[in-house]
Amino acid sequence: MCKVFNVTRGIMHRTKSQVVAVKDVSFEVDYGELFGVVGPNGAGKTTTIKMLTTMLLPTSGKALVLGYDCAKEVTKVRERIGIVLGGERGLYTRVSAVDNLNYFADLYGVPRNIRDKRVKELLDFMGLSERAHNRVETYSKGMKQRLHLARGLINDPDIIFLDEPTVGLDPEISIETRRMIKELVDKGKTILLTTHYMFEADELCKRVAVIRNGEIVALDTPSGLKKYVMDTSVVEVEGYGITEKEVAKFREVPDVMSVSAELGEDKQVLKLQTPKGSEIIAEVQQILKNSRIYDIKIKEPTLEDAYLRLVEG
C-alpha cells in the first residue's frame, strides 16, 4: 500500500507539492505474532499504523485486517482492534481511570454487565486498582502508560497496535511495559509494535520490518536481520573532543559500512561497522589524533547495528 499527502504552502502564492509517506509497503502478520516495525523518524511507521487502524485511507493498494478491508469495512475492523499510542497524551486527565475506561467501553459498545467486570480486571492487571478513582493528572508516567494499555484492551481486541509504547519512559517503567506486552502475546493477542529501540524489537518481536523513506528495506526475524552484518565487526570508540568533522571523515573511509556517534558533553561514543575489525584501529587513531581516546572495543554486531546499516543504505 502507498500513502501520498498533498501539501499546500503559502498564503499569497500557494505552491502545491506531494509527500510520499509510504511506498509499496507490503507484509503479513500471523495470528498470535508480535510483529515489529522499526525505522527512523518520518520513515512511515505511524502512517502505516494509521492506515491499518482505519485512521488514514491508502492512496493506492489494500490493507486487510482479519480479512476486512480497512478502507471499506471500517466498523468491522475497529470493533476487533485496539490501539495504544505512546506518550502521556491520549487520556482524559481531569477524570479518573475508571471514567476513562468506562467511556471507551461505551464507545466500543461493550455490554454494561461485561464492562464493569472488565474494567475491574484491567485495573487489577495493570496494578491501578488502588488509584482507580483518582484523577489521571495525578498519575506518574508509568501509571499513565499502564492506563493507555488498559484502554487499548477495553474491547478485548484480537489485534493490538502499539505505537512506540515505551517512548519517553524511564528504564524501570519500560521493562514493566515490555513485561506486560509479553503477557499479552502469551494470552494469544496479535501485536503490531513500532519502536525506535532495537533492543526492544530484539527482545519482543518474532519478526521485524525495517522501514526507510516509506519503504520496507528488510523483513526478517531479529536473528535473520543480524545476518546482514555478520560479515562485519563493530568498533566502539570511547573518547573526548571528537568533532562532527572527524565523524564525517569516517563516513568516507571505504571499509566503513556505517557510522553512528553520540557526541555528548560528558561521554562520546563512536561506532563503526567494518569488515576489517581490529585492522582499522590504526586508521581510527590517525583520524582522531586531535581527540582523546579512552577505549577501543571490537564487538559482535547487534540488531541495532543491522538496523543502522539498513537505514543508512
Where on the chain is the footprint of another protein (CB under 8 A)? 3, 5-6, 21, 46-47, 50, 53-57, 75, 78-79, 81, 83, 85, 87, 89-95, 99, 102-104, 106-109, 135, 151
The nearer residue to another protein, 21 or 303, going by C-beta atoms, is: 21
Tell the smallest beta-carbon distance from residue 152 to another protein (Å). Answer: 9
Q: Which is nearer to another protein, 151 or 309 (CB)?
A: 151
Q: How far is the CB of 78 from another protein (least distance, A)?
A: 4
Beta-bridge partners for 188: none
Nearest to another protein of 155, 258 (CB atom): 155
E-strand ranges in the chain read 3-9, 15-22, 34-38, 64-65, 68-69, 81-85, 159-163, 190-195, 207-212, 215-220, 233-240, 258-263, 268-274, 292-299
Q: Which amino acid is at 124?
A: D
Nearer to another protein, 45 or 178 (CB): 45
What is the enclosing helix (H) or strand (E) of 79? Answer: helix 74-80
User: Cβ of residue 196: shortest distance to another protein, in angstroms?
Assistant: 17
What span, in angstroms and rounded, lies between the C-alpha atoms of 123 and 5? Answer: 39
Coil, strand or helix: which one is 278? Answer: helix
Of 161 and 250, nearer to another protein (C-beta) is 161
CB 139, min distance to another protein, A: 15
**Spatial contact of 20 and 214, defined as CB atoms under 8 Å apart:** yes
Provide the greatest CA pair distance for the chain. Answer: 72
Q: How far is the CB of 211 from another protein (least distance, A)?
A: 13
